[in-house]
Amino acid sequence: MTQNIKTPWTQKDLLGLRDLSVAEIELILDTAKSFSEVSQREVKKVPVLRGKTVVNLFLEPSTRTRVSFELAEKRLSADSIGMASGGSSMTKGESLWDTIANIEALKVDIIVMRHGSSGAPHRVSNYTKCGIVNAGDGINEHPTQALLDMFTLREIKGKIKGLKVVFVGDILHSRVARSNVWGLTKLGAEVVICGPKTLIPWGIEELGVKVIHDVKKAIDGADAVTLLRIQMERQNETLFPSIREYASTYGMNTELFKYAKPDAILMHPGPVNRGVEIESALADSAQSYILKQVTNGIAVRMAVLYLLSGAIKNEK
């Protein structure tokens, strides 16, 4: 039967790209490549997680990530249940720890978790035998999004090493940017961060990225540009004068995008705010891979759930 040549996956959790080795990241990306074929079939289902149960615990709003995880689980034949904070006993005062303990008592194998506080899944993972997949924690990490971004980059550009990848927008509140920075720098890409000074986290250069505030200079010669939304819901102070002013300075449009390489690709983790960080025409152009990212997200999440399920030792 199939031989195991690569390093096998041994962690029960996927908390962030910060904790992963280059080999582990590549294992996920390679596995995802094999899984992408499943979604092209007429019968989009394989029996690998038959009998496994996955709870999607989303304590912050989400459409893309949640639907993507649910589809990934269903295509792997897992039984999946959705839980949101609104409809759960957490509104009655139950703590996150008790909620997790109860989910574990229900013999659940994997918890896909989104939480508004950075580090919540990391804390919880030590208290449970369930595998924890971080689906976004506060402003810290969103590993599966970064993995699907890297998967898309590798698919279109054939490699990641040596690529110039630029992130423009609200980096301060972006877990997507942080996960990407960890992952892309590990795989040898040149990462440039761009945005107004108030929206760039202090000291991010220490992670091995370049900060350039001038958009034209930042995207000059870029292989890929990822635009990030302004996360108004996480801002309780005024970090820039107005959305319109942001749009006129940092909003990407067809003219501006010409500063990047002619074959540069445009990415966006969504949700897209048309007319703010991105011009509508550019979002729908041939250089935009936004919807390709969404498609790839399912394969990446299938790969993650598949690999994790081999390392979970919840009692039967």
Q: Is 1 in the site for other proteins (CB under 8 A)?
A: yes
Each residue 109-138 as x (binds other proteins by CB under 8 A) or -, in order, gives ------------------------------
Q: How far is the CB of 36 from other proteins (least distance, A)?
A: 8
Largest CA distance in the chain: 62
Distance CA 93, CA 85 (A): 11
Q: How far is the CB of 73 from other proteins (least distance, A)?
A: 14
Each residue 265-304 as x (binds other proteins by CB under 8 A) or -, in order, gives --------------------------------------x-
Considering only residues 41-70, where is the footprint of other proteins by CB under 8 A? 41-43, 45-48, 50-51
Name the residue nearer to other proteins (CB basis): 37 or 284: 37
Structure token digits, residue 34: 């094999």
DSSP states of 224-292: EEEE----GGG--S--SS-HHHHHHHH-B-HHHHTTS-TT-EEE--S---BTTTB-HHHHTSTTB-HHH
Distance CA 145, CA 143 (A): 5
Structure token digits, residue 312: 């979970």
Q: Which residue type, as a one-letter code, is found at position 119? A: G
Distance CA 112, CA 131 (A): 8
Q: Is 8 in the site for other proteins (CB under 8 A)?
A: yes
Among 9, 58, 167, 257, which residue sits at the site for other proteins (rule: CB under 8 A)? 9
Among 86, 208, 221, 310, which residue sits at the site for other proteins (rule: CB under 8 A)? 310
Residues of the shown chain interacting with other proteins in the complex, contacts defined by CB under 8 A: 1-6, 8-10, 27, 30-31, 33-35, 37-38, 41-43, 45-48, 50-51, 303, 306-307, 309-313
